[in-house]
Amino acid sequence: MSQAADYPDLYFTREQLMLSPEETLEVAKDLMNCSPPASAITDTDRAFVQRALLIVVDKSEKTTAMFDVFASFMTKAPSGSVLKIAKSLAKRTARRWFKKYIDDTPKYSAVGRAGFLYYSAMPMEWRVRVATGDVGMITNYLLAR
């Protein structure tokens, strides 16, 4: 399934772009290991990188939840009751969400980033855009309004 099908509503108006051009460069370098010159960043670039960041954060959240389930079931003795396993899962989930809301800076894991890089076409699009300097080489996630 493609990224567009997984995230059909993840398009932005200019007012919804939260990343500044400088932040766009930093995120692009961190996520995809390359970026165009600062003077070449457009709103289309900002929308593309913002979408990539949100996808990576989402994938990180999903993998962390799966690891919580795995750890809750695998760290209990085979004779452990379902109630103990459920309590362990609830504690892990509560701890994760509590940490998330104390610091509202989006975080992503190495697993979420690796999943994005491996299963998404976005990094390749971005590398072509950087190499050619042509913004038309990336999918436009900016809504015209």
Domain residue extents for the chain: 3-137
Type of residue found at 28: A
Residue 45 has pLDDT above 60, yes or no: yes
Rounded to 10 degrees, the C-alpha dihedral 111/30/45/100 comes to 60
**How far from chain centre, in Å, is Cα 84?**
32
In contact, 52 and 31? CB cutoff 8 Å: yes
Residue 1 has pLDDT above 50, yes or no: no
Q: Quick check: helix, strand or coil at residue 42?
A: coil
Residue 74 has pLDDT above 60, yes or no: yes
Nearest to 28 by CA among 49, 47, 55: 49
The pLDDT score that the predictor gives to residue 54 is: 87
Instruction: Give the range among 11-15, 40-44, 98-102, 114-118 with minimum mean pLDDT.
Output: 98-102
The pLDDT score that the predictor gives to residue 79 is: 59
Which tokens belong to 80? Answer: 């452990």
**pLDDT one-digit tens code per residue, 76-114:** 555 567 667 667 666 766 666 555 555 556 677 777 788
CA–CA distances in Å: residue 109 to residues 53, 63, 93, 104, 141: 12, 9, 16, 15, 24
Sorting pLDDT into bands at 50, 70 and 90, what band is 139? very high
Residue 117 has pLDDT above 60, yes or no: yes
